[in-house]
Structure 1
Amino acid sequence: SYGQRKNISATTSSYTEVERGPANTRGSYKVIDGSFTGYNMDRYNNRPLYCNHMHAFILTGDRPYIRFMNDPYIYGSLMIGVIRDGKGKWLHHFSERTSMYFPGKMEWHLNDQSMPGLNVVLEAVTMESTPGMSIRMHLEGNNRKDQIVWVFGGASRRPAKKRQNLNWAYDVTIDTTLLTEEFIPEYCSENIISFDGKRFTILPPAYEPEKGFQRHIIAGMCSAKSKMVVADAHLWEDLPKLITSKGAGLPLLCGIIDQTDCKNIYWTVEGNTTNEYLSAGAYTDPVKAFENGIARIRRITSQVVVNTPDETLNAAVASGCIVADARFYPPVYVHGTMAWNLPFPGWRSLFGPISFGWHENIKQEARHYISFQLKESGKKEAMADPKLRYTGQSPSSRFYGRGRIDHRDNGFYNFQSQFFDQLCHGWHYTADRELEEILRPALELHLEWIKDCFDPDGNYVYESYINTWATDSQWYNGGDTVEETAYAYYGHMTAMKMAERSGDIESAERHRKETEKIKKALIDVLWTDRSGHLASYREQGGHRRLHEDTWLPSIFLPVDYNMLTPEQAIQCLYYTEWGLERNKMPFGGERCWSSNWVPSQWSVREVHGGDNYHLALAYYQTGLPDMAWELVKGNYLRSMCHYISPGSLGDYYANDFADIADMFNRVIIEGMFGYSPDYPCGKVGFKPEFPSYWDFASIKTPDFSLSFKIDNLRSIYTLSVSGAAILECKFPVNTSRVNEVLVNGKRAKFDIIPGFGQNYVSIIIEKCNKAEVVIRCRGKIARNVSENMEVNASEKIRLAVPPYKIREFKDPQGIFEEAEIVDGAIEATCARVDGHFLILALAGDEGMENWKIFKINVTDNETRRGILSKKIDRIPPDTRWETVEMKKSFNGDIRDIFKQDYLNPRPNTVSARIGSDGYAAWTFAYWNYFPPEITLENVNKMQNPEGLLETPAGVPFAWNQDTSKNIAFTSLWENWPNSVTVPVNNKGSAIWFLVCGSTNPMQTKIANAQLIIRYADNTIEQVELVPPVNFWALSKWGVADYDYGRDRFCLPEEPPAQVQLGTNCRAMLINHKTKKDIEIRSVRLECLSQEVIIGLMGVTLMK
């Protein structure tokens, strides 16, 4: 079982030095006996402990300095120290510190070189139900002359600089200065302290009483007899002086425990508004409070218990329990336990509690938000908001009309598509009739709402309007997309089942047809045949092009909702291995970046744990468990053991964050342990997928239990479910033959299904609550999933799977010009292609064939050489130049590029688009980001005596001395022509262009414009401008720019040639070798992408 302390509620029997091992490394933690353990870590404030379903929390850390907060009050800090022989030291300054985070509880084992023989164990938990903390200290080796000193104080209002609530303000992932922040004596100002015997109270200054905030009071007790005094907080660093000082302007409660034989000392501190506090009773027994706090943590962490060979994973699941429980502030879940401690209906905030069995909480949230759904509204048309620079929808839009959850928590995002998506998921877990009655009419309204808003053309492929966590600064300009289409598909599938259960055959048939149309349209509109994956979007207008450079949600969502065939799913997943950046982690596993979109303004390109766990789930669902495990491992080890907070399910933007923690919980339940409930249809699926080297694993949740072990050549699975159901089981096997399958001791009928690199034993067990399945195999073979190959275009290749013969193969992307199976191997000739491709080959023992994957990287060297041969790498020293006069072609001033109103074309649909300034993402209107001022101050310095612009590369261009016009703009906006043509009527060995303009991350890796060179013989050559390969925007975008430190994977090996004409004015230097001895009649710059403005500033012939 997960390594929770066996005697978690018992007194620590003795001090035992924790095994240090790899934990004795700065910045890393190792799981030992269920705790995330660190040795002599220096961080403060990096491990929060959460009070029961409320804002209140204890802030602990690697050092035993303990703070207590309940927004808007910092209740104070607890520090404990020891004075020996007239010298004192706080525990958090002890020289030897082992910190141990048992999910929900913090523990420290402490000793110091200056106090030989003294060993201290300190433990901290939150109280059972009230805002409070409970502390236990166990002493060994103390002598009778030692004095134990404790202080509590620093009760203050939320600091003025902390604008967010205290959970947010004191998240160390947001504010890393907290990692070194100790006691702040100034917080003791205006504290009113009183004490009596073992009890004390502190009254902090009132917090904004004019706004109706009630004053809080803090009360506490120490179980040991203490001499309490009010000391001077200024002297906190000197214990002997502190205990003899008199508090004045900065009063600090100080307790002194003399000559104690007591081995265990307890403290409790509680806080609340004065009215609530006084009516509830002032004090709680410290010993009882500690025991109850420990019991609460044990209840939470036993919600889901796993036992696997990976001790860190076992503890991680316990942490997942803590985070899922902590985020529930009845009746809803908040987005983050610390930062983003706000209630949002959307993002992936319900998957965690659903998969971990907190179904009543889910029902509470459903009831709450659905009660605000609009049944009627006069808002019937799409309407962009001029106050948002037309980037998003106006409050008068259809987006805010009938079917919308009209609650402040729903904000301006489309939270509710994910909200309903998760409620549908939760309903499949339970088939709860009460939830069904709440959900069904609301779901029907929601499906009507998304159809009206996001599929106005009725092609069954929906636009995604800021509807996932990663959509800050990301948009689709009205295009057809994957994400909302997947949510629509699953919503209609659920509505169909609900209609069937109610006997509404007509509605069921309507929803069934809708799912069929959506599923077909997704592939018809967005599938990329040659690349083998779903695109990010297809343009609404313009040239209706497919943007093939996709991102993670376009991959994992259709896999999750079973919208793809296994062949399509594996192609999509393979794209994330070659098309997106993968980081191999030094401690094991991998992490995958969300996109290639640059500049990477938040949050268009992140390496996000939530998306990585969702991607891992898709790998599990497709039957690729080893790749899934690499992603799971790389992410949870990084956040829990190799980041700044032990046991964290968060990242640099939030500790213990819903969108990460919930997908971790879900991937363990539904991915690794393969639990797939469909209680509305009376069945439950099991398809566990463990790492191939595990020989046991088990899990127990409120919904099911599963245990697995290997006994010689027998695989034994023991299953139970909370509600009787038909069990549809697929168990992986790696063997040459399955001899028999026993269900509850009796021989059972089974089928062998080929998977990727392995087979599955498929059995259906009649309706039951529990079953034991034994699979007896003949021999074990290694799981052989894939082989990587590097080949050249047009090369003859041979693919084999020794010792087996290939019986059939699939070439879904058309890599082969010709191919056949010869003597059990594929003999083929590669086509003239360039890129990454999959070949699937069926091979294996008779009756146990499965699909082997050949991952083939094909290089078309001839085509690549041809492209490179048209480029000038070095300019000869004797080069002659002839500039092309462009005055008559100029139509604008580059400095005014963002000073226009770009209003047409803007189809009137519910869409996120670029701003009317031609610059702003939809987020910029909220963040107050505005276009930069563009200058040309470098131009004068670059002009030669003839008035030509002499670039640093040595290429001259004619420059218009009439500075009001210096560029020939093109755009699909009506403000500028779609193309401009410049007469040349001359020859040269090469032609050079000076190009300048705007682009944005949503136009990455697609031709934004093209230069068309027309020759006298009426032939043409084209040069595509593709960001970030050879074209970069003229300035930063928001606060982001092309960054080789962060985004090297997405960028060319070297930055493309550029000329800095002035502040925020970067022009690109493009060249092309021309046809020999053939006159160039003209060059034309043609804009291809929507929402960009690209202009030609100069043309020069190289003689």
Structure 2
Amino acid sequence: MATTTNPVWWQGKERTVRYQPDGEAFVNTNGKARFSRAIYGTNTGFRFETSDYPEFGLYMPNFGGSVYLAVQSKGKTTWIKDLATVSNRFVSGLRTYEMTDPARLGKGQLIISALAHADRDGLLLKVEAKQLPADAKLLLFYGGANDSRFSRSGDIGADPVNSFYIEPNKCLNNHFALSDNRFTLTYGKTPKSITGVFDSPTTLALVDGSYIDHLHALINSKGDDKPLLMATLPLGDQARYVSLHTTPKQDGVNQSIQASDLAPAFQNALAYRAKVAARVKVATPDPFLNTLGGILAGAEDAIWEAPNYLHGAIGWRTPLTGWRGAYVADVFGFHDRARTHFKAYGASQVTQVPVTLPHLQDETMNLARSKKAWGTPMYSNGYITRAANSTSQMHHYDMNLVYVDALLWHLNWTGDLDYAREVFPLLQRHLAWEKNTFDPDNDALYDGYCCIWASDGLQYNGGVSTHSSAYNYRANKLTAEIAKLIGEDPIPYQTEAD
């Protein structure tokens, strides 16, 4: 038994609580975690990663470079992370940093807020100086965009910790074009571009990324084959704004941002973030739980990319027919998003491929998966393919099972009998497909084949299992109830459930 003198730690390692709750926010002071909390944009693959101190890594998707910050005051230049006190506050979609340092900043305070644009893929910064020395300046370094995808899109624990670091070789083939208060970076084998806009006054220069780990050498260097942008922003009583973004088009015309647009863009982004975060509120006696409302709302928004929900927001950011995501829609009141998802994948149900072959296992995958051959029970009428609005893309999962379960929950939430009539043929085809494919011996116990999230001890490739049988029990039971409500025959489904 564990005692106070002989504790037993999870995984044998003592841990500390890095973040404390404060209302709806997580707060932390002088933390060291880097690129560990994502902020998402407007339902695309874009995000930027934030650290416990103000530095930011852009994923466009694929790596679009990072931003490091330093402060210059009283004749000295210091990385912001090295100031005496760096506090940060995170609420859904917004991270705010407050820095103090009597030796470098006097009695003053530097505040930096970061959030995503509301109308394009990009990072917005608001910089506020309070009672800083008159000569105080912010130095912003940006670059290292090598268009790398990483193995899991920069997912924590899956990709190297330095994925979002600015490193000299990442600065190769970064081409900057500078003007008064803006720049364009072109990078990648298939050229991509990011635009940066600063309010005035700002001085832009290129320095040598080879010195990224040596601040004083860096600020005195000249850009060469490994260029890095250095922007110098004097700090005074007025807030300063910075944007790094892509430029969308409308009717073929670039929707560019000017310096005068930055403050309104920041306010629009704040309003957009607040609207998303306000969708869910949590009020309990536990202050840790009370931070989760906006976080959950932001997570829902991060996995929505019309016309469907995605498997994940970062790693496995890919559309999948029935992999949990669609459940969140109705819970959060997004019946329209749910309907869009279900209709898009309903259009992907196969209806013109009868069974003409026996079950076949894929020898190239050591018999671990069904062979992708049209006409086998797996890939025949009733099967729902991997891609929305398409009946051509096979997948090795049984995604039907969870897709239909989420669809049935949607019908429960909405009580929409007209839509129930519309999807009833889909349900019939699905249940016939499940029965023929995974319970051919008719013992009412269904094979578990790649149909829910894997875990230890889970039968995952054939063999009857509790989880798949339970899903099919519920599907048949609810389909019988729906049949009664819409004038269809409930007996086949009630009989299977019983």
1:315 is the counterpart of 2:305 = no
Asked if 1 retains the 8 angstrom alpha-carbon contact of 2:196 and 2:242, the reply is yes
Q: Indicate the residue corresponding to 2:368 in structure 1.
A: 391
CA distance in 2, matches of 1:328, 1:158: 23
Q: How do 1:679-1078 and structure 2 match up within 5 A? A: none
User: Which portions of structure 1, spanning 4 or more consecutive aligned residues, are displaced by more than 6 angstroms?
Assistant: 275-278
- For the aligned residue pairs, the C-alpha RMSD in angstroms reads 2.5
Q: Indicate the residue corresponding to 1:43 in structure 2.
A: 33
- Return the letter of the residue paired with 1:387: T
Q: How do 1:233-272 and structure 2 match up within 5 A? A: 233-239=209-215, 241-258=217-234, 260-271=235-246
- Return the letter of the residue paired with 1:459: D
Asked if 1 retains the 8 angstrom alpha-carbon contact of 2:320 and 2:386, the reply is no
How far does residue 50 in structure 1 lie from its aligned partner after superposition? 0.9
Q: List per-residue Cα deviations over 1:520-572 (Å, max 9, x = no partner).
A: xxxxxxxxxxxxxxxxxxxxxxxxxxxxxxxxxxxxxxxxxxxxxxxxxxxxx
Asked if 2 retains the 8 angstrom alpha-carbon contact of 1:87 and 1:240, the reply is no
How far does residue 45 in structure 1 lie from its aligned partner after superposition? 0.6
Q: Indicate the residue corresponding to 1:189 in structure 2.
A: 172
2:303 to 327, 332, 351: 327
Change (3 A) 1:472 1:448: farther
Q: Indicate the residue corresponding to 2:9 in structure 1.
A: none
1:281 is the counterpart of 2:282 = no
How far does residue 277 in structure 1 lie from its aligned partner after superposition? 11
Q: Indicate the residue corresponding to 1:221 in structure 2.
A: 197
CA distance in 1, matches of 2:295, 2:414: 24
Asked if 2 retains the 8 angstrom alpha-carbon contact of 1:268 and 1:289, the reply is no
CA distance in 1, matches of 2:211, 2:446: 65
Change (3 A) 1:239 1:118: farther
1:203 is the counterpart of 2:182 = no
How far does residue 76 in structure 1 lie from its aligned partner after superposition? 2.1
How far does residue 323 in structure 1 lie from its aligned partner after superposition? 0.5
CA distance in 2, matches of 1:425, 1:374: 22
Change (3 A) 1:94 1:232: same
Asked if 2 retains the 8 angstrom alpha-carbon contact of 1:344 and 1:410, the reply is no
- Return the letter of the residue paired with 1:493: K
- Return the letter of the residue paired with 1:400: Y
Asked if 1 retains the 8 angstrom alpha-carbon contact of 2:27 and 2:88, the reply is yes
Change (3 A) 1:479 1:228: closer
CA distance in 1, matches of 2:401, 2:165: 44
Q: How do 1:190-589 and structure 2 match up within 5 A? A: 190-207=173-190, 215-239=191-215, 241-258=217-234, 260-271=235-246, 279-283=253-257, 285-380=261-356, 381-396=358-373, 397-407=376-386, 411-433=395-417, 435-470=419-454, 474-475=458-459, 479-504=463-488, 507-515=489-497, 517=498
- Secondary structure in structure 1 of the residue aligned to 2:288: helix
1:62 is the counterpart of 2:45 = no
CA distance in 2, matches of 1:277, 1:146: 43
Q: How do 1:150-169 and structure 2 match up within 5 A? A: 150-158=140-148, 162=150, 164=151, 168-169=152-153
Change (3 A) 1:128 1:472: farther
- Secondary structure in structure 2 of the residue aligned to 1:148: strand
Asked if 2 retains the 8 angstrom alpha-carbon contact of 1:219 and 1:283, the reply is no
Q: Which has the larger radius of gyration?
A: 1
Asked if 1 retains the 8 angstrom alpha-carbon contact of 2:321 and 2:386, the reply is no
Q: List per-residue Cα deviations over 1:711-762 (Å, max 9, x = no partner).
A: xxxxxxxxxxxxxxxxxxxxxxxxxxxxxxxxxxxxxxxxxxxxxxxxxxxx
**Percent of aligned pairs sharing the same letter:** 22
Asked if 1 retains the 8 angstrom alpha-carbon contact of 2:194 and 2:245, the reply is yes
- Secondary structure in structure 1 of the residue aligned to 2:161: helix
CA distance in 2, matches of 1:315, 1:86: 41
Q: How do 1:62-211 and structure 2 match up within 5 A? A: 62-72=52-62, 74-112=63-101, 114-115=103-104, 116-158=106-148, 162=150, 164=151, 168-175=152-159, 177-178=161-162, 182-207=165-190
Asked if 1 retains the 8 angstrom alpha-carbon contact of 2:26 and 2:89, the reply is yes
Asked if 1 retains the 8 angstrom alpha-carbon contact of 2:459 and 2:465, the reply is no
Q: List per-residue Cα deviations over 1:1046-1066 (Å, max 9, x = no partner).
A: xxxxxxxxxxxxxxxxxxxxx
How far does residue 481 in structure 1 lie from its aligned partner after superposition? 2.5
CA distance in 1, matches of 2:132, 2:38: 30
- Return the letter of the residue paired with 2:397: Y
Asked if 2 retains the 8 angstrom alpha-carbon contact of 1:421 and 1:491, the reply is yes
CA distance in 1, matches of 2:333, 2:233: 46
Asked if 2 retains the 8 angstrom alpha-carbon contact of 1:231 and 1:251, the reply is yes
Asked if 2 retains the 8 angstrom alpha-carbon contact of 1:377 and 1:401, the reply is yes
Change (3 A) 1:176 1:230: closer
- Secondary structure in structure 2 of the residue aligned to 1:252: strand
Runs of 5+ consecutive residues of structure 1 not aligned to the other structure: 1-24, 208-214, 518-1103
CA distance in 2, matches of 1:315, 1:471: 28
Q: TM-score when scaled to structure 2?
A: 0.88
- Secondary structure in structure 1 of the residue aligned to 2:27: strand
Change (3 A) 1:102 1:429: same
Q: List per-residue Cα deviations over 1:878-904 (Å, max 9, x = no partner).
A: xxxxxxxxxxxxxxxxxxxxxxxxxxx
CA distance in 2, matches of 1:81, 1:265: 15
CA distance in 1, matches of 2:368, 2:193: 47
Q: List per-residue Cα deviations over 1:566-588 (Å, max 9, x = no partner).
A: xxxxxxxxxxxxxxxxxxxxxxx
CA distance in 2, matches of 1:68, 1:300: 21
- Secondary structure in structure 2 of the residue aligned to 1:375: coil
Q: Considering Cα pairs closer than 8 Å and 6+ residues apart, tell me whether 1 or 2 has the greater RCO.
A: 2
Asked if 2 retains the 8 angstrom alpha-carbon contact of 1:367 and 1:438, the reply is no
Q: TM-score when scaled to structure 1?
A: 0.41
Q: List per-residue Cα deviations over 1:684-709 (Å, max 9, x = no partner).
A: xxxxxxxxxxxxxxxxxxxxxxxxxx
Q: Indicate the residue corresponding to 2:6 in structure 1.
A: none
Asked if 2 retains the 8 angstrom alpha-carbon contact of 1:26 and 1:41, the reply is no
Change (3 A) 1:302 1:476: closer
- Secondary structure in structure 2 of the residue aligned to 1:311: coil
Asked if 2 retains the 8 angstrom alpha-carbon contact of 1:86 and 1:240, the reply is no
Change (3 A) 1:190 1:391: closer
- Return the letter of the residue paired with 2:475: G
Structure that is richer in strand per residue: 1
How far does residue 477 in structure 1 lie from its aligned partner after superposition? 7.2
- Return the letter of the residue paired with 2:399: F
How far does residue 474 in structure 1 lie from its aligned partner after superposition? 4.4
Q: List per-residue Cα deviations over 1:359-395 (Å, max 9, x = no partner).
A: 2111111111111211132434323333333333222
How far does residue 494 in structure 1 lie from its aligned partner after superposition? 2.5
Q: Indicate the residue corresponding to 1:871 in structure 2.
A: none
- Return the letter of the residue paired with 1:246: K
CA distance in 2, matches of 1:105, 1:410: 39
Change (3 A) 1:476 1:294: closer
CA distance in 2, matches of 1:498, 1:460: 21
Asked if 2 retains the 8 angstrom alpha-carbon contact of 1:243 and 1:256, the reply is no
Q: Indicate the residue corresponding to 2:4 in structure 1.
A: none
- Secondary structure in structure 2 of the residue aligned to 1:398: coil
CA distance in 2, matches of 1:501, 1:231: 71
